[in-house]
Structure 1
Amino acid sequence: MRFLLSARWIGFFLAVVALAVVCVLMGDWQWHKREVRHESNERVEQHLAADPVPLDQVAPVGLKVTKDLEWTRVVAQGRYDPTSQVTVKFSTRDGRPGAEVVTPLLLDDGSAVLVDRGWVPTSNTAAAPSDVPAPPSGTVTVQGWLRPDSGAGADATTPVEGQVRSISSTGLAGSLPYDVRSGYLNLREQTGGTGGLELEPRPDLGGGPHFFYGLQWWFFAGLALAGFVWFARIEWLERRRGAGAASEDDQARETSSA
């Protein structure tokens, strides 16, 4: 199989090895994402199983809410400010168009926390919903999941005619006359009920597609190497048949000359 030492086959082999290495690295990357997802799910499950804690304990004024705190069950008490309420347009549920309703909750220290009170169906347009249930009046006790701010830019989080496209305390802070705490709450329970709004569903704690994507990339790596062996074998068989045919021709010529 000396043909494997030719420039063409050496180049082919190096290309296959490079492809296989890339596939292995992609598989490792997917496996790492699977492990990160698994660790995140464990943390979320712990948060969901724990008893609610006071908002001041996990998200006091000035503390940025991070991913590590996401889905922590918290409780807060205050008064809703419906005059500063916004809706999050283009929010879908099970394929249905709708909007999230976000209302600041004024706390005793003068600051506020944003509360996503739930989802309301709308027509499939960018227009703000006109029939949003009002929040309870007076002092209410709110229990919800703590969520970090959306990473969307200012164009998505700054209110325009009472609407935003993503929830962010920093994006809304400029339009509010009081300090706003980092992150927001997904409402779960409150004094006076939820007013008919559809609450945020529980987070998806599935493993995602990373396990099968990793196997798929590793399969591609093996397929690339197997393909090289297959093509090399085909070349070897063709050369062998060619050599055999040449030997038979030589024998035939010797026989005829005798």
Structure 2
Amino acid sequence: MTYQGMTALITGASMGLGEAFANELATRGAHLVLVARSENKLIGMAEALRVHAGVDITVISADLSSAEGVQHLIAEVKRRDLRIDLLINNAGLGVFENFLDTSLAKQLEEVDLNVRAVVSLTHAFAPDMVSAHCGGVINLASTAAFQPLAGASVYAASKAFVLFFSEGLGLELKGTGVQVMAACPGPVATHFFVNMSPTLKTSQMDQPGSVVLDILRGFDQGKNVVYPGKVTNRLSTWGARFLPRKMILRLAVGVTKKLNQK
């Protein structure tokens, strides 16, 4: 894809991978629509990027864990007559707690943000891409998508949905000029881990900037699924395919116990 002059909408843009996407795409000449709940942070990012990269930046504050927030974003994009060439569904929530130890509201917030928002925004913006015979959707899944995770059951299931949805939609849109890709990173040194008590060290995680470069490289190569970051991320998904199911479940429990928030 030619990023110069195109418009990319990035959800969860105020920090972590979203911020890294914004910085990299602006450097490549893309205009940006930055979406997150923290409007002040987005405004500061926009001002810096305009000066540094000389691109157009639109800021839209929205809470995508609510249906109202998703509809507000869609309505604002249409009201401002913005054409979205690249949709990056990056916003996400990970609840690393036993299911029955966590409120239903929190688990449903995770489903709404990780699943419903992805489906709703893709359904809203992909048709115009198809009409234009060009464009793309990058959905952030995870290596967690490849096996159930006791202690993060809803998170793993939601990321499996994102992976399967992306692969299926990619086949549906084959030949339209619109590419759909799922990115499946492992642990990334972002705000995602701030409220946990992980035993993971920073050296065991990938950096947001390098992960984004890997994702965009895979997208440029026309890949349907990419495993950015350390080579162990890709290797970890092989176990779910080739090892006995019970063994995979036991190994996964050991991982999530280290990250359990309660």
- With structure 2 as the length reference, what TM-score do the two structures score? 0.23
- With structure 1 as the length reference, what TM-score do the two structures score? 0.23
Higher helix residue share: 2
